[in-house]
Structures are given as C-alpha cells and as structure tokens.
Structure 1
Amino acid sequence: MDKTYEIIVLFKEIKEAVKKTMVTSFKDVDITSSQWLVLGVLLKNGKMTMSKLSKYVGLSNSTVSGIVDRLERQGYVVRIRDEKDRRKVYVKVTDKFNEVAKKSHMSIEKSIEKKLKNISEEDINKVIEGLKILKKIFEEK
C-alpha cells in the first residue's frame, strides 16, 4: 500500500475515533456536531461577529444564525450588540457552557487516558514522537 495513502487513511480513522469519543462525552448536553463546531470556534477565539463566525466555520450566515438560535435557547451562547454600531452583533459562549466544556473536556481526557493505560510507556513515547514529527512536517511551508 502506498505510504501516503496509508497515512491519509490513518488520519481519517483517528479523526473518526476521536470524534466518537467527543460525541460520547457531549451526549448528556445534547449538542450536535455543527453546534460543537460553532462552540469550539467561539471557545478558541472569544466573541465574534456572526459574519466572521460564519466565514470561520464555512457555513452561511443563515445556517449559523439558526445554530446560534438553538445554542442561545440552551443557554450556551449569548448575542451582544455593539454599543457603537448597533448593526454589529457578536456571539460569545456563556459561563454555563464554559462549565459544560470543562466537564466534558475532563471526560474526554479520562476516556483517552483509560485507552492509553494499557499501552507501554515506550509505545506512548513512540506515539508522541510520531505525532511531533507529523506536526513538524505539516507546519513546514
């Protein structure tokens, strides 16, 4: 098998396995993958305008607006109007969601830790080294 293809397939399989772990950790909070995408971007970047958020996640303004509507009803985000330009609307995560994210992050971490528990220290170090090499390769211009 071509090594490049094998790496691509492994990336996809690992991504799916991690996604499954995350979905399991968020099942109690009833968040869809699209909602998680929006929330993840907001967690990483802080408050954002709707249009910037839409561009960042690669979805239309109307789609993101619907997602934000549902998240707002759940108490996970709030819309804030700009005081100087009332046409600008920002979206940010709430303290309620920050708490949910912390708990879920801990759950994800524990789940991964449990999976790694049966792996030797030597193999864990190999995985870390391999991931560092891949990161370096993909960061090169």
Structure 2
Amino acid sequence: MASTIGEQSTELRIATFRLARRLRAEKADGELSDAHFSVLAGLHKHGQETLTALAEREGVTAPSMNRTVNCLQEWGYIERIADKSDKRKVIVTLTDSGHETVMNTVKKRDRWLHQQLRTLSPEDRATLAAASELMRSLATQ
C-alpha cells in the first residue's frame, strides 16, 4: 500500500488509467478509435456542431477533425448539413446509426462495470462510491 502522497498519487493515476483503458475496450463497434468515439459521444451530448467547434472541443486542428469527420461520415455515423444562416459553414450531426452506436457502447461499458462491481463486497462498493465522488471533485478543480 502506498504510504506517501507521491506514492498514492502514482498508484491512483495508474489504477485510473488501467480502468479507463479497460472500459474503453468495451465498444459497440470495435473499429472505432477512441478519438472517433469521442467525437460521436460529444455530438450525442452537445448536439450538432460546426467542424471548427468540434475541433476546438476535441483539442485538434480543423484539418485533423475534417479527416475524422470524413471517416465517420463514410461509416454512416454522422452527416454534414449546410448551415441555414451561413452557407459557407457545415454543421456535423449524428445519424440514427451514430446515436445507436453511442448508446450501445455506453450500455456495454455500464454492463461490464456492473458485472465487475457485483464481485466486490458491499463495503468495497461503498468505498468505490465514495472514491468516485472524490475523483469527480478532483477532476473539476
């Protein structure tokens, strides 16, 4: 068990990344990269966006986002529509297939985590519930 704050922070970082990596492996479409799924999930959460807004939210360049959007469009997960107020802009929106892929991936990840939590004692589940509140608080600071 880690004893110093430095050791504790290292152990928490490693455990968090391992759990996140394991959860990311649970996807409805195994061909989607994490970056592709992040765009789909963002559109699902925030609604339709311009290519520029997508790039800014994802922290990538517009040309990089354009390549990602091209792939997602080719696979039928998103579509581009002309902006009614400014014909030079293109709005990116999820298709029904895109929404379904996001929802199925979320369900798959939740199901996997639910199965893992069932193997723990009630006390350990309570500890994780308390830890998740603390982690959420740390993440927003």
**What TM-score comes out, normalization by structure 2 length?**
0.86
Per-residue deviation, 1:70 = 0.4
Which amino acid in 2 is paired with 1:104?
A: T
**Which residue of structure 1 aligns with residue 40 of structure 2?**
39
Which amino acid in 1 is paired with 2:45?
A: K
**Which residue of structure 1 aligns with residue 68 of structure 2?**
67
**Which residue of structure 2 aligns with residue 124 of structure 1?**
125
Query: 2: CA distance between counterparts of 1:116 and 1:18?
Result: 15
Segments of 5+ residues of structure 2 without an aligned counterpart are none
Structure with the largest fraction of helix: 1
> Which of the pair has the greater relative contact order for Cα pairs under 8 Å at 6+ separation?
2
SS of the aligned residue for 2:92 comes to strand
**Which residue of structure 1 aligns with residue 27 of structure 2?**
25
Which amino acid in 1 is paired with 2:60?
A: L
**Which residue of structure 1 aligns with residue 135 of structure 2?**
134
Please, what is the CA RMSD of the aligned residues? 1.9
Greater Cα offset, 14-23 or 36-45: 14-23
Segments of 5+ residues of structure 1 without an aligned counterpart are none
How many aligned positions are there? 139
Per-residue deviation, 1:9 = 4.1
**Which residue of structure 2 aligns with residue 96 of structure 1?**
97
Which amino acid in 1 is paired with 2:82?
A: R
Query: 1: CA distance between counterparts of 2:126 and 2:134?
Result: 12
User: What percentage of residue pairs aligned between the two structures are identical?
Assistant: 21
Change (3 A) 1:134 1:21: closer
